[in-house]
Amino acid sequence: MAKNRNEIPEKLTWDLTTIYKTDKEWEAELTRIKSELSLVEETDPGHLLDSAESLLTITEKMLSISQQVEKLYVYASMKNDQDTREAKYQEYQSKATALYVKFGEVYAFYEPEFLKISKEVYNKWLGELQKLKNYDHMFERLFAKKAHILSQKEEKLLAAAGEIFESPSETFEIFDNADIKLPMVKNESDEMIQLTHGNYSSLMESKNRGVRKAAYKALYTFGFETNNAEKNQKYPNNMFNSSTGDADFLKEGASLGFYWYGSRKTIYVPELENVEIAKVYLYIGQFKNSNKFINNLSIRGLNLTKNNVAVWLDVPNKYALGSKISIDSYYGTININGVASATEKVNGAKFLVIPPGESDIILTPSSWVTTAPDVELSWEENIL
């Protein structure tokens, strides 16, 4: 059974006091850096290339603030990771993310402004001010990507969108790590244990196929656990009435059922017996003339599971028709439809290496495959 943080001995937990001694110290630093960024926004844009001294001063100030922002973020992120159900540290992480975004907005001027300098002037300044050489590598990298740097206005717009791009990921992490309670499964000792994201990988490495199969099925096909906000529930989730509400809808032939207030309501519609679900609509509204207003609304996830398929229990095919899987043995990467994936490689497996001489490569599809996949293999010869 996975333990809550307050059940773990303190000596086995992170000592975050080495970063900030107290939360109040973190909050004070957050306020201070916000003020410093506001001052930078008023004074520094347009003056980066006033002189060699100006370039050095603004560069060192930017790098210093960047380190302070990163320190704030690390503390907030680790505090949040201790227990992702804790609203206080969810807020800390949101504030730290917002500060990162603000930093990007404020310093959106830096790269476009720096790249206005000619190489001749830059080399002259390096000779005049030795301390600039400490950042020569950083400056050379900026010169190298000059063709890809946007204008200050465009860079600032992209930086401002950072918080928006982070929101879906943060929402999923909260839902995945805190709100979902996974089912009980059997381990190799035939004991019933609580399945968690932490022990899932070890269960999937079991020599017992039944243990692997049960763990996989439990992780990817579990149902929602709802209740009616009873007092004895640790995390009451009266659906649609709290921040942890869950509900499900189930269609089995002509039978349509959904959970509401702790029990399943079912109706029978003969006309829908052989009709497949093609679309899922989510409608959120309010009764006409109601004096109650929605003041806290969020959707943390929407899952669709197709039950009773022919091959689910044998070999779950998670790749849609037309999927492209690219395996790069040299760099040790696997991409699914152009997106890098860290979960495809089986623990203990090694990437393909072609030895000198002739080699036979045999690709064996699953027994239920009716159309052979297209396979393309390319390689380069290494001379040792």
CATH superfamily of 180-221: putative peptidase helix hairpin domain like (1.10.287.830)
Residue at 304: amino acid letter: L
In the chain, what are the domain boundaries?
5-176, 180-221, 239-306, 317-384
Question: Which range, 60-64, 95-99, 256-260, 350-354, is most confident?
Answer: 60-64
pLDDT of residue 236: 47
- Interval 246-295: pLDDT, tens: 567 778 787 877 765 555 667 777 777 888 877 777 766 665 565 555 55
- Interval 126-163: pLDDT, tens: 999 999 999 999 999 888 887 777 676 676 666 666 55
Examine domains 5-176 and 180-221 and report if their fold is the same: no
What percent of the chain shows pLDDT beyond 90?
21
Q: Tokens representing 125?
A: 């300044």
Q: Are the beta carbons of 128 and 109 closer than 8 angstroms?
A: no
Fold of 5-176: Butyryl-CoA Dehydrogenase, subunit A; domain 3 (1.20.140)
- Interval 176-220: pLDDT, tens: 655 566 778 888 888 888 888 778 888 888 888 988 888 888 777
